[in-house]
Amino acid sequence: MPGSHQAPAATRRLFFALWPAACTREQILQRRDSAGTISPRRVPAHNFHLTLLFLGNQPADRVDEILALGDAIENEAFDLVLDRWGHFDGPGVVWLGAEAPAACRTLVDKLTGRALDQGLQFQHRPFVPHLTLFRRVTGPWQAPPVEPIPWSVEEFSLIESIPQQPYQVLRTWPLQ
């Protein structure tokens, strides 16, 4: 029709992640606060997470399919130890990370494989197990020693990022 404009399709910004329990979240907050003023842009504690697969903007009408993707995943539980600081220069973030055990890498591979099988479009990134604590870090920074945080991972979640709001957990699945 001449002169008519079709509204853009609604999208939702989604990612699969590990969502720490309150006691783990508190320990992460303590480590973040012990790092000092690396940047005024501190990630709020209610948004702490470890991304397994970032899907980015997905059509809103595919959310049920994405939830079904999570429903189909079976994976064993695993333990992480958050014991190292890291920095991504490009986005200017400082993070607290861990070595990923085999069961964690398997979970990431299963999620990625099923997302590709469903034809979801997303940017492939190497998996680096980390929780972002600071954003817009510029210049050099000094990493303090890290008192390790043991994290017994027994579930994973699908999370939605909505601008100016805390992340929303859409569904959580148990690990065996």
> Which residues are the active-site residues?
49, 130
Phi, psi of 86 (to 5 degrees): -150, 170
Q: 149: which residues sit within 8 A by CB, 6+ positions away?
A: 24, 27, 28, 31, 81, 82, 83, 96
Residue 118, amino acid: Q
Residue 84 contacts residue 100 (beta carbons within 8 Å): no
